[in-house]
């Protein structure tokens, strides 16, 4: 195992992700664990010291436990981790108000096991160069005894150092972020070649560990979970069920704004096929009743969010033995809510599923996916036996069709939209792009139809029609913060619009949304 000591960097989880990618098991612990804790680690192969937002000169700057440097395993210090290593082993660091932040090119010096043969390009003199991401104020100005220079930049003459006899390596830049092009290679080198991990740790191993952790955490107590059918809550449910079986009860609230046959699918997958205990609440009347006459998007979101919490609480209250509330919180949610708390969130749209269920339930929180990124959650889902089509589904907003029906929500609108949406998704799945061999559902990040409560004139047979409009929306994005509209083939658009107009009574016009985000958003509300 690799131990990661966290000194408060926002990207410590990325270190863990890189170590997992290199095929090794790792755990993150606070940077000020005791020396005994370090000594008690069984099977320890290496230690990584994270960066920090703090300065090594800050009053509350954490010291690296002395046992780290006496454990007899390789140590990799990153940014703050490098400075702390330098200071504690007899080098010199210097504080600075000026921060160096962003892209940098680092020159590798001499031969070290960590950087040997890893480079992005070579200078005319033949020096290996790395394209990296830097973010620091303080820096190391004199090497500790026994260390040699490993890397430098013009503004940071000691950007990397190593004492290879003891297996100590340190870099001032951040190899864990994707902007450092060779980051993954560096972690592979450290984890496999330097620490000697064989690199055979994988998702099935993670499942076993996660199951053991859940059992240890909850013991004999009972757990409830709000299952939405989305990837995160589905994977969390499947995982917890494998750990504790019937001690998990899922509550699935159908707010009447789900996609076509979605409730049936969720029940079939989880209750019938996997044997989960699920309370299925058909609350569409209740939601639609509360939403009647409401047109403002944020007001609709609030009502849906509030009603959902209320219903969940009512059900939770009936399960008097439940002591735990499980949530499918994944790592980006943890970051997002931390940003929201620190006032950095912009509040352009309120996403009610971030922030979660109320504390008044008096339940302890169980969040088994907290350390994972989305793609890791998907791999975990597949390892748990969930259908790949469910695990690789496009995201679907918590308020569902509620934000895809513009203005007031009516059951009639939702029924029309559901049919149109199902046709669009079916056509996307069935149309294969010849160049890539992939279907258009997989080539887009999110695709759906939007209901416009306006009527336009059409003609069908000999008769004039006067019916509603739907818009198709398909975007490509990596982070959903910015997005491009997808250049779907005309033939696909044509087939889909033809089918929607012919098959969905009540819709006689279909448009395609060609707006990027920004300035538009992905959803229409
Ligand atoms: P926007 O429309 O803000 O969407 O560009 C970005 C991503 O967020 C999803 N989204 C939501 N998800 N509750 C959610 O759970 C919401 O209220 C909500 N609004 C937008 C949207 O589907 C897209 O993936």
How many whole angstroms from 245 Cα to the centroid of ligand 1? 32
Closest CA to 271 of 248, 294, 290: 248
Query: 124 and 188: one domain?
Result: yes
pLDDT classification of 346: cutoffs 50, 70, 90: very low
How many whole angstroms from 480 Cα to the centroid of ligand 1? 8
Query: 27 and 97: one domain?
Result: yes
At 110 the pLDDT is 85
At 355 the pLDDT is 44
- C-beta of 304 in contact with ligand 1 (< 6 A): no
- List the catalytic residue out of 174, 241, 255, 352: 174
How many whole angstroms from 470 Cα to the centroid of ligand 1? 19
How many whole angstroms from 394 Cα to the centroid of ligand 1? 12
Domain edge (last residue) among 391, 419, 435: 391
- The three-state secondary structure class of 82 is helix
Q: Whose CA is nearest to atom 22 of ligand 1?
A: 397
d(CA 352, CA 522): 17
- CA-446 nearest atom, ligand 1: 24
d(CA 130, CA 115): 9
Residue 522 lies in a domain: no
Beta-carbon contacts of 202 under 8 Å, excluding residues fewer than 6 positions away, are 23
Residue 334 domain boundaries: 203-391
* Whole-angstrom Cα Rg for the chain: 27
Mean pLDDT of 197-216: 92
Query: 347 and 456: one domain?
Result: no
pLDDT classification of 359: cutoffs 50, 70, 90: low
Domain count, the chain: 3
Query: 117 and 242: one domain?
Result: no
- The three-state secondary structure class of 355 is coil
- C-beta of 445 in contact with ligand 1 (< 6 A): no
- pLDDT for 421-439, tens place per residue? 999 999 999 999 999 999 9
pTM of the model: 0.83
Beta-carbon contacts of 136 under 8 Å, excluding residues fewer than 6 positions away, are 51, 79, 80, 83, 99, 100, 156, 172
Parallel, antiparallel or unpaired: strands 222-226 and 322-326 = parallel
Catalytic residue status for 176: yes
Q: Whose CA is nearest to atom 20 of ligand 1?
A: 397
How many whole angstroms from 523 Cα to the centroid of ligand 1? 6
Mean pLDDT of 299-324: 93
- C-beta of 354 in contact with ligand 1 (< 6 A): no
Query: 212 and 355: one domain?
Result: yes
Across the chain, what does the average pLDDT equal?
A: 92
Tell me if 139 sits within 8 A of 94, measured CB to CB. yes
Query: 39 and 118: one domain?
Result: yes
At 340 the pLDDT is 60
Residue 175 lies in a domain: yes
Parallel, antiparallel or unpaired: strands 2-6 and 463-476 = unpaired
Instruction: Count other C-beta atoms under 10 Å from residue 283's C-beta.
Output: 17
Query: 287 and 269: one domain?
Result: yes
Query: 89 and 142: one domain?
Result: yes
Query: 267 and 181: one domain?
Result: no
Domain edge (last residue) among 335, 359, 391: 391
Residue 402 lies in a domain: no
Q: Where are the beta strands (DSSP E) in 36-179?
A: 46-49, 75-78, 92-94, 100-108, 121-122, 128-136, 139-142, 148-152, 160-163, 168-171
pLDDT classification of 380: cutoffs 50, 70, 90: very high
pLDDT classification of 120: cutoffs 50, 70, 90: very high
Q: Is the confidence at residue 341, as pLDDT, over 90?
A: no
∠ CA 404-409-415 to the nearest 5 degrees?
75
- C-beta of 351 in contact with ligand 1 (< 6 A): yes
Parallel, antiparallel or unpaired: strands 322-326 and 277-282 = unpaired
pLDDT classification of 79: cutoffs 50, 70, 90: very high
- C-beta of 290 in contact with ligand 1 (< 6 A): no
Q: Is the confidence at residue 59, as pLDDT, over 90?
A: no
Residue 397 lies in a domain: no
Q: What percent of the chain has pLDDT over 70?
A: 95
Query: 453 and 331: one domain?
Result: no
Query: 156 and 67: one domain?
Result: yes
Q: Is the confidence at residue 54, as pLDDT, over 90?
A: no
Residue 44 lies in a domain: yes
- The three-state secondary structure class of 248 is strand
Mean pLDDT of 172-184: 94
- pLDDT for 384-413, tens place per residue? 999 999 999 999 999 999 999 999 999 999
How many whole angstroms from 260 Cα to the centroid of ligand 1? 19
Residues 220, 226, 232, 237, CA torsion sign? positive
pLDDT classification of 121: cutoffs 50, 70, 90: very high
Residue 398 lies in a domain: no
- CA-348 nearest atom, ligand 1: 3
Q: Which residue has the higher pLDDT, 481 or 339?
A: 481
Residue 350 lies in a domain: yes
- C-beta of 474 in contact with ligand 1 (< 6 A): no
Domain edge (last residue) among 168, 194, 220: 194
Instruction: Specify the CATH number for the domain of residue 301.
Output: 3.40.50.620
Instruction: Specify the CATH number for the domain of residue 102.
Output: 3.40.50.880
* Dihedral in degrees, nearest 10, Cα atoms 381, 386, 390, 396: -50
- List the catalytic residue out of 26, 109, 136, 176: 176
d(CA 163, CA 172): 15
pLDDT classification of 358: cutoffs 50, 70, 90: low
pLDDT classification of 353: cutoffs 50, 70, 90: very low
At 336 the pLDDT is 66
Residue 337 lies in a domain: yes
Pocket test for ligand 1, best of 300, 307, 352, 395 (most atoms within 8 A of CB): 395
Query: 304 and 424: one domain?
Result: no
- pLDDT for 496-506, tens place per residue? 999 999 999 99
Mean pLDDT of 104-117: 94
- Residue 397 buriedness (CB in 10 A; 0-12 / 13-18 / 19+): buried
Q: Whose CA is nearest to atom 8 of ligand 1?
A: 397
């Amino acid at each position: 195992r690799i131990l990661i000591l966290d000194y408060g960097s926002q990207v410590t989880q990325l270190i863990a992700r890189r170590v997992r990618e290199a095929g090794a098991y790792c755990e993150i612990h606070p940077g000020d664990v005791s020396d005994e804790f370090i000594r008690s680690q069984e099977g320890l192969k290496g230690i990584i010291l994270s960066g920090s937002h703090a300065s090594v000169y800050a009053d509350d700057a954490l010291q690296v436990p002395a046992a780290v440097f006496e454990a007899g395993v390789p140590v990799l210090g990153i940014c703050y981790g490098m400075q702390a290593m330098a200071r504690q082993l007899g080098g010199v660091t210097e504080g600075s108000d000026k921060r160096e932040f962003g892209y940098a090119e680092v020159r590798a010096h001499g031969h070290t096991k960590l950087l040997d043969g890893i480079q992005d390009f070579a200078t005319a003199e033949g020096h290996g160069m790395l394209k990296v991401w830097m973010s620091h104020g303080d820096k190391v100005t004199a090497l500790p005894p026994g260390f040699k220079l490993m890397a430098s930049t013009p503004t940071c003459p000691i950007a990397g150092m190593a004492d290879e006899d003891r297996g100590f390596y340190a870099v001032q830049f951040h190899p864990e972020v994707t902007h450092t092009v060779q980051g993954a290679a560096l972690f592979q080198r450290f984890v496999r070649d330097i620490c000697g991990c064989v690199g055979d740790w994988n998702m099935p191993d993670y499942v076993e560990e996660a199951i053991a952790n859940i059992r240890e955490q909850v013991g004999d107590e009972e757990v409830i979970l709000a299952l939405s059918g989305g990837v995160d809550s589905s994977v969390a449910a499947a995982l917890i069920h494998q750990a504790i079986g019937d001690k998990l009860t899922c509550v699935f609230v159908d707010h009447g704004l789900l996609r076509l046959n979605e409730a049936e699918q969720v029940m079939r997958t989880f209750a019938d096929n996997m044997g989960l205990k699920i309370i299925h609440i058909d609350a569409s009347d209740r939601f639609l009743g509360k939403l009647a006459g409401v047109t403002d998007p944020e007001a609709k979101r609030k009502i849906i969010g509030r009603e959902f919490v209320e219903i969940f609480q009512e059900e939770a209250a009936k399960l008097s033995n439940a002591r735990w509330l499980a949530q499918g919180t994944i790592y980006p949610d943890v970051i997002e809510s931390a940003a929201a708390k620190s006032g950095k969130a912009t509040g352009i749209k309120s996403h009610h599923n971030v922030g979660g269920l109320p504390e008044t339930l008096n339940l302890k929180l169980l969040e088994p996916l907290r350390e994972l990124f989305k793609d890791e959650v998907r791999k975990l889902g597949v390892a748990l036996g969930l259908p790949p089509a469910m695990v690789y589904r496009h995201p679907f907003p918590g308020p569902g069709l509620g934000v895809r029906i513009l203005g007031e929500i009516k059951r009639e609108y939702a029924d029309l939209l559901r049919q149109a949406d199902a046709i669009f998704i079916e056509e996307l799945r069935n149309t294969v792009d010849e160049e890539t061999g992939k279907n258009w559902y997989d080539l887009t990040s999110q695709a759906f139809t939007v209901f416009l409560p306006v009527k336009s004139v059409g003609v069908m047979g000999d008769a004039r029609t006067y019916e509603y409009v739907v818009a198709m929306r398909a975007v490509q994005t990596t982070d959903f913060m910015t997005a491009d509209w997808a250049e779907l083939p005309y033939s696909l658009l044509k087939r889909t619009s033809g089918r929607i107009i012919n098959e969905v009574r009540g819709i006689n016009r279909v448009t395609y949304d060609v707006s990027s985000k920004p300035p538009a958003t992905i959803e229409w509300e």
